Structure 1
Amino acid sequence: MNKKIVIPFALAILSAALFGCSSNKVKEEKIKPNPLPKLQQSIGLAPVFSQSVSSTSSQDPLRLQLAIDQGVYFLPDPKGVVSAYKGKQRLWEKRVSKQGITSGAEAAAGVVVVGNSKGEVFALDQATGEQKWKAQASGALLSPALIYNGRAILVANDSTVFAFDVENGQVAWTYKLPHTPLSLRAQAAPVPVDARTVAIGTSNGYVYAIDSLTGVPRMQQRVAVSEGRSDVQRLVDIAADPVVVGQFMVTTSFQGQVTVTDLTTQRVIWSQDASSVASPAVHEGKVFVSTIDGKVLAFDLFSGEKVWDNDQLLNRQLSNPVVLGNHVVVGDLDGVLHLLDVNNGQLLGRSSTSGDVRVLRVVDNQLLVSTRKGAMSIWQNR
């Protein structure tokens, strides 16, 4: 039986950097993050909500994102607890698993769905926290579910996609993605493409589109190309969720490219070299990418021409970028949220949370932040 080997981001990056050294004794050089740049002006964000859950390992990039639905916040704790808040008021708190939680929360259709390293899937009633159903996948669940068309769709780390009926947890369909023997310990979550189709990025550099109701494959498109010599250098995992805007799908890949695909023709429009394990952001005809080495890049969505780049945050282990108002926001290893001008990339201000920022999301013009130390917070423009 083939066995899949997963490696942390940090180890993959270090191995790639050290490949080709002729000496048998290689001294690891610690890369220092750039100091925080001085600001000509200083703007920040206003905190709306903040709660803490348990921390996670620095070597395990879990996406323990919080979810929001109907004005209620749902927080997953790595130790196996899910809680719900309305503003600062806690509505309920439920322990769902002694095995912990390794996926982020997803809330829709009246349920909250989380998963763990044993492949267990739990659906809780949004109003009460009571378990509606429990199901079993074939491997660890490292990314959030997508609740879509009456299905809770998840990807196990053995490359199997599961669609569970959101009402009762029965398996509606499964789909086996290609198996790669070596990959990063990460998995892109499914994202909607159209009224019936979802797209999933994989560790082999392809995106697969699948019918959400039947599990029938609709498309497979290569969006990342490997150019390395060693097994580690050839890693081109799509570890981050694709972003779909209209007819365009934007993807990033580790040691690969940022790529824009036209979904109507299923052809790549353009591709630019950029190594990233974070989802891109798309806003008003621009694509924003944060790279492994700490650059923030902006490309024209239609031509691929670079619009601007910012290298002031090198080696600060940036999160995915998001757009909030007129600002591109990225988080870093010190819990700093950086605000950049969406038009030119100028660094305009910052706010601080606690712990290295793992996931940023914008929902209803609010910024949802999750950090490794378990700080889960919501912010808005001042």
Structure 2
Amino acid sequence: MKEMLKKALAVAVLTGVLAGCASEEDTIVMAPVPQVDSEFTPSGVWSNSIGNGVDTYYSKLSPEYAYGKVFVASRDGKVKALDPETGKTLWEQTIKAEGVSPRLAGGITAGYSQLFIGSENGEVIALNEETGELNWRVAVDGEVLAAPATDSNLVIVHTNEGTVLALDQKDGTQKWAISTEVPNLTLRGNSAPVTVSGGVFWGTANGRLAAAIAERGQLIWQQPIGLPQGATEIDRLVDVDATPLVLGSTLYIIGYNGQLTAIDLRSGKPAWKRNYSSATDIASDGSRLFVVTDKDHLAAFDARSGTELWKNERLEHRLLTAPTVINGYVVVGDNEGYLYWIDRNSGEFVSKQLVDSSGFAVPPVVIPGGYVLTTRDGNVKKLTINE
């Protein structure tokens, strides 16, 4: 049985990884917290809070830095704009849903002087970035678990029903929609669409990377990232839930039970493929790619050739966030609230901090003068490194 399923069954209440049901009970062994002689300790600049955070739910609500503000949101409908220097609340909005929780889950994305957030209730919500005023909210086909993209005066959304659709940024009117097949059993999560040079790119639940013309929604091509194999639906999971990463003229993508793949954007053809499995986003420092695998191993690859440069297996099954790069270090958080700083050249630990025992659902976000992180229980902190 695949490791991601084992992880899902062991912590199903926390992660909600599978969109289907499972009757088996399996356990995994989480690696102990590694001993690290920290070379530096980050200093707190300010702190704030945002509702109840995402609690134990899947929601991947990442902070967004735009328009000189830090925007944060919680699953229960709170949205705030914060001063990046002081952490002071500039405005606060509460999104309500009749009879149910707002269940905000996809976003935050800034564009067109607005903020766009998706929900598990099948809505896309647009707020004025200056005041927090609700500009519009529309119902869409399925849950919106990934951050929307913006291009050509459109808001492009990927739903768990396999539909990518474009909404007019002014009023949310639907302009086009593309549907792809969704298998009976999938991982819980969706690839956030990415736009570049007039195209939109996203991963699908049936193991492909899709590309379309952003302005009119014309599907251009699909490339297989993973092919279903095995006798059971669980063995045949091939979701591509990572957000495509574009560096120059090359797009990088990875799939669960699939491959880490580099694709030439001009031809749409693979430049190289390597057999690695992941459902989280890729990070990069421009020349290297950093990946958290389905076993929570952290690995680095040469972006040109795909050669593995190093692998760190000491955080196995610690339910890591996607990686990010801060001050030249690779950074990941885990489910117990530890933040790990890793040397991008060697893969060795440089520093470690226990930030908040509620844990992390998303990695920190770099802003001027430091970085902002949000914890599962809604704490918002800005920190800076003292080396």
TM range (shorter): 0.7 to 0.9
- Deviation at 1:164? 1.2
Structure 1 length as normaliser, TM-score?
0.88
Q: Is the 1:235–1:255 Cα contact (8 Å) retained in structure 2?
A: yes
Residue from 66, 71, 82 that aligns with 1:69 = 66
- Relative distance call for 1:243 and 1:273 in structure 2 (3 A) is same
> Quick one: distance in 2 between partners of 1:375 and 1:109?
28
> Quick one: distance in 1 between partners of 2:6 and 2:53?
17
- Relative distance call for 1:44 and 1:247 in structure 2 (3 A) is farther
> Quick one: distance in 1 between partners of 2:198 and 2:207?
23
Q: Considering only aligned residues, what root-mean-square deviation do their CA atoms show, in Å?
A: 2.4
Q: Is the 1:261–1:267 Cα contact (8 Å) retained in structure 2?
A: yes
Q: Is the 1:174–1:215 Cα contact (8 Å) retained in structure 2?
A: yes
Matched, 1:128 2:131: yes
| Percent identity (aligned) | 29
- Structural mapping, 1:19-38, within 5 Å: 28=26, 30-38=27-35
- Relative distance call for 1:48 and 1:208 in structure 2 (3 A) is farther
Match for residue 115 of structure 1?
A: 118
Match for residue 39 of structure 2?
A: 42
- SS of the residue corresponding to residue 171 of structure 2 reads coil
- Relative distance call for 1:255 and 1:83 in structure 2 (3 A) is same
- Relative distance call for 1:50 and 1:218 in structure 2 (3 A) is farther
Deviation string, structure 1 residues 246-303 (Cα, Å, up to 9, x no partner): 1211112222222222222222222222221111112232111111222110111121
> Quick one: distance in 2 between partners of 1:361 and 1:243?
18
- SS of the residue corresponding to residue 209 of structure 1 reads strand
> Quick one: distance in 1 between partners of 2:354 and 2:260?
29
Equivalent position amino acid for 1:10 in 2: A
- Deviation at 1:11? 3.4
- Deviation at 1:8? 11
- Relative distance call for 1:217 and 1:227 in structure 2 (3 A) is same
Residue from 372, 378, 383 that aligns with 1:374 = 378
> Quick one: distance in 2 between partners of 1:64 and 1:42?
30
**Deviating more after overlay: 85-94 vs 370-379:** 370-379
What count of residue pairs does the alignment treat as equivalent? 363
- SS of the residue corresponding to residue 10 of structure 1 reads helix
Residue from 142, 147, 165 that aligns with 2:145 = 142
- SS of the residue corresponding to residue 43 of structure 1 reads coil
Matched, 1:104 2:107: yes
- SS of the residue corresponding to residue 11 of structure 1 reads helix
Equivalent position amino acid for 2:362 in 1: V
Residue from 194, 201, 223 that aligns with 1:191 = 194
Q: Is the 1:205–1:225 Cα contact (8 Å) retained in structure 2?
A: yes
Structure 2 length as normaliser, TM-score?
0.87
Deviation string, structure 1 residues 79-130 (Cα, Å, up to 9, x no partner): 1121111132111111222231222211222111112222122111111111
Residue from 172, 180, 190 that aligns with 1:177 = 180
> Quick one: distance in 2 between partners of 1:347 and 1:119?
41
- Relative distance call for 1:378 and 1:8 in structure 2 (3 A) is farther
Match for residue 338 of structure 1?
A: 340
Matched, 1:51 2:37: no
Matched, 1:82 2:82: no
> Quick one: distance in 1 between partners of 2:185 and 2:67?
40
> Quick one: distance in 2 between partners of 1:242 and 1:343?
23
Match for residue 155 of structure 2?
A: 152
- Relative distance call for 1:161 and 1:70 in structure 2 (3 A) is same
- Deviation at 1:367? 3.6
- Deviation at 1:10? 0.7
> Quick one: distance in 1 between partners of 2:146 and 2:274?
26
Q: Is the 2:186–2:237 Cα contact (8 Å) retained in structure 1?
A: yes
Equivalent position amino acid for 2:180 in 1: L
- Structural mapping, 1:316-355, within 5 Å: 316-354=318-356, 355=358
- Deviation at 1:48? 4.0
> Quick one: distance in 1 between partners of 2:382 and 2:75?
19
